[in-house]
């Protein structure tokens, strides 16, 4: 019996990764493709949808059908594997040049991972593999198919995909993007800015997990979505218990659970002493690394100076940690926080609603970290001067050099950004807040929702 989960939703949520899968197919290199990402982000569903483009689609799930591991216990040449699939899966058909073999939950079968090296050398069919725990399992494989695989990274829905889910067309989004891409930075009509800000607040409380978004599309009920979020959050904790090594699992769970508290402090630096009294890098460092490799958390490292290359100036064990989904963060704070965010119209002012309190700054930082990561900025940094007089939430590297990004949530003036922009090596910087677009010298001010398109 096959248990049907969210992958069988009636309406497909439009996902950008489908374009990456199509590009991989048309490159014609025939490398096997590994689709990485945290659990429940829609990997299985999107591969099944992509499989409809082939005349033959063959799926093996090593968790649902562990007996199919036997196919990979003998010789691993393509002919032997094809024969094994035909024997264990009567009706499976290999059509030369138009077959997609999908190996799901491949982390459960080491020999299947090894076989990718040989399957990539065969040009009769294509291979995609995936698994909810590929980044979680620390089982070294001596025959990992280096050079025989490509990678596609899948995340929860980003803000643009959320807009698609709500029925906002590509034409509308193209017009919205122009406020950033044409670099005129003219005032955005209030009706557009207000509506986009409202949609961003909805996205913040819902997050980007596909099952949550589908629930909202179907029911428009925040409480139902909240119930799903909490179940998925518990599933993440269960995955830690299932996949982490015995010496890591309890500590990794503590580290993950501490993220909301770390971000509600005035200082958002991740502190092991807040995970456990007396906690230190030696005890918890490998557990944080596990969370990052499992795609459950986003790390932003501190740098000693804001210069290129940022990675060369990283300060050891000085970092901030954010969850991979903004909805997870906010649901851990409680439903009252969600109501406060939906009603909170001005990012950079201190909240009138005391429920938000000091957590507000960390929430908007986490949103920005997620937006930047989903826009392709996978190597994020922040800067805090030794004296503490200058603090910049994010630094990214681009063709224009180092670009500082300030997220305003709790104070009006951007002294740190103004100070950094005195550096002749920095051409310009962004301030994202609830304010409308504008430019003053090297400082570009934009509404926060435009950060999704940076």
Which CATH number characterizes residue 95's domain?
A: 3.40.50.300
pLDDT, position 409:
61
19 vs 405: CA distance, rounded Å: 29
Its sign, for the CA torsion 42, 47, 52, 53, is positive
Question: What 3-state class would DSSP assign to 97?
Answer: coil
Residues 6+ apart with CB under 8 A from 48: 7, 57, 59, 102
Residues 115, 177, single domain; the answer is no
10, part of any domain: yes
Question: How confident is the model over 360-377, as a mean pLDDT?
Answer: 94
Kindly report the average pLDDT of the chain as a whole number: 90
pLDDT, position 3:
31
Report the share of the chain in percent with pLDDT over 90.
Answer: 76
284, part of any domain: yes
Question: How confident is the model over 80-92, as a mean pLDDT?
Answer: 96
DSSP codes joined into one string, 140-164: --TT--TTSEEEEE--S--HHHHHH
Categorize the per-residue pLDDT at 245 as very low, low, confident or very high, splitting at 50, 70 and 90.
confident
Categorize the per-residue pLDDT at 349 as very low, low, confident or very high, splitting at 50, 70 and 90.
low
H helices, E strands: number in the chain: 17, 13
199, part of any domain: yes
Structure tokens at 274: 């807040």
- State how far Cα 214 lies from the chain centre: 18
90 vs 392: CA distance, rounded Å: 59
Q: Is the pTM of this model over 0.85?
A: yes
115 exposure class (CB count in 10 Å sphere: 0-12, 13-18, 19+): buried
Give the residue from 125, 153, 181 where a domain finishes: 153
Residues 102, 169, single domain; the answer is no
Question: What 3-state class would DSSP assign to 180?
Answer: helix
236, part of any domain: yes
pLDDT, position 314:
96
The DSSP bridge partners found for residue 100 are: 57, 126
The count of structural domains within the chain is: 2
Residues 129, 197, single domain; the answer is no
The DSSP output letter for 186 is P
pLDDT tens digit sequence for 259-270: 999 999 989 999
Residues 179, 115, single domain; the answer is no
DSSP codes joined into one string, 229-264: HHHHHHHHHHHHHHHS-TTTHHHHHHHHHTHHHHHH
Which of 21-30, 70-79, 265-274, 350-359 bottoms out in mean pLDDT, i.e. has the lowest?
350-359
Categorize the per-residue pLDDT at 365 as very low, low, confident or very high, splitting at 50, 70 and 90.
very high
135, part of any domain: yes
Residues 6+ apart with CB under 8 A from 83: none
Residues 440, 325, single domain; the answer is yes
Categorize the per-residue pLDDT at 411 as very low, low, confident or very high, splitting at 50, 70 and 90.
very low
179, part of any domain: yes
1, part of any domain: no
DSSP codes joined into one string, 201-231: HHHHHH-S-HHHHHHHHHH--HHHHHHHHHH
Residues 412, 302, single domain; the answer is yes
pLDDT, position 144:
72
pLDDT, position 414:
82
Residues 6+ apart with CB under 8 A from 325: 156, 207, 208, 209, 370
pLDDT, position 244:
87
Residues 327, 355, single domain; the answer is yes
pLDDT, position 181:
87
Residues 207, 318, single domain; the answer is yes
345 vs 281: CA distance, rounded Å: 39
Which of 50-54, 65-69, 122-126, 356-360 bottoms out in mean pLDDT, i.e. has the lowest?
356-360
Categorize the per-residue pLDDT at 161 as very low, low, confident or very high, splitting at 50, 70 and 90.
very high
Residues 267, 409, single domain; the answer is yes
Neighbours of 145 (CB within 10 A): 18
Give the residue from 112, 134, 153 where a domain finishes: 153
Structural domain including 35 reads 6-153
Residues 63, 130, single domain; the answer is yes
pLDDT tens digit sequence for 281-300: 999 999 999 999 999 999 99
The DSSP bridge partners found for residue 431 are: 406, 445
Are 213 and 13 contacting, i.e. CB atoms less than 8 angstroms apart? Answer: yes
Residues 148, 26, single domain; the answer is yes
Residues 51, 104, single domain; the answer is yes
Give the residue from 153, 177, 197 where a domain finishes: 153
Are 391 and 383 contacting, i.e. CB atoms less than 8 angstroms apart? Answer: yes
pLDDT, position 78:
96
């Amino acid at each position: 019996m096959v248990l049907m989960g969210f992958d069988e939703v009636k309406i497909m949520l439009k996902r950008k990764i489908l374009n990456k899968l199509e590009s991989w197919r048309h490159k014609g290199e025939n490398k096997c493709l590994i689709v990485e990402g945290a659990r429940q982000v829609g990997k299985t569903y999107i591969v099944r949808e992509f499989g409809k483009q082939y005349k033959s689609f063959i799926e093996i799930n090593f968790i649902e059908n562990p007996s199919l591991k036997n196919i990979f216990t003998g010789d691993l040449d393509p002919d032997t594997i094809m024969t094994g699939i035909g024997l264990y899966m009567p009706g499976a058909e290999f059509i030369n040049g138009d077959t997609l073999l999908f190996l799901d939950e491949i982390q459960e079968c080491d020999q299947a991972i090894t076989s990718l090296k040989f399957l990539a050398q065969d040009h009769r069919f294509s291979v995609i593999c995936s698994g909810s725990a590929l980044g979680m399992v620390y089982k070294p494989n001596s025959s990992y198919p280096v050079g025989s695989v490509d990678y596609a990274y899948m995340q929860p829905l980003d803000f643009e995909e959320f807009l698609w889910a709500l029925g906002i067309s590509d034409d509308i989004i193209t017009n919205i993007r122009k406020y950033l891409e044409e670099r005129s930075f003219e005032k955005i009509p209030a009706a557009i800015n207000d509506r986009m800000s409202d949609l961003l607040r909805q996205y913040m409380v819902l997050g980007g997990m596909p099952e949550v978004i589908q629930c909202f599309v179907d029911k428009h009920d925040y409480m139902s979505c909240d119930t799903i979020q909490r179940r998925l959050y518990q599933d993440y904790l269960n995955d830690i218990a299932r996949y982490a090594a015995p010496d890591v699992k309890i500590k990794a769970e503590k580290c993950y659970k501490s993220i909301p508290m770390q971000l509600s402090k005035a200082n958002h630096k991740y502190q092991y002493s807040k995970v456990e009294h007396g906690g230190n890098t030696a005890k918890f460092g490998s557990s944080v690394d596990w969370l990052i490799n499992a795609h459950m958390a986003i790390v932003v490292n501190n740098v000693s100076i804001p210069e290129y290359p940022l990675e060369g100036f990283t300060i050891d064990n000085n970092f901030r940690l954010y969850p991979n989904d903004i909805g997870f963060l906010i649901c851990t704070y409680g439903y009252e926080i969600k109501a406060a965010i939906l009603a909170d119209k001005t990012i950079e002012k201190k909240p009138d609603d005391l429920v938000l309190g000091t957590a507000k700054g960390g929430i908007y930082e986490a949103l920005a970290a997620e937006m930047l990561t989903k826009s392709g900025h996978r190597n994020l940094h922040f800067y805090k001067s030794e004296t503490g007089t200058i603090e910049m939430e994010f630094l990214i590297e681009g063709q224009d050099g180092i670009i500082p990004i300030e997220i305003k949530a709790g104070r009006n003036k951007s002294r740190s950004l103004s100070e950094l922009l005195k550096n002749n090596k920095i051409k310009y910087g962004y301030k994202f807040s609830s304010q409308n677009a504008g430019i003053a010298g090297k400082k570009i001010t934009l509404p926060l929702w435009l950060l999704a398109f940076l």
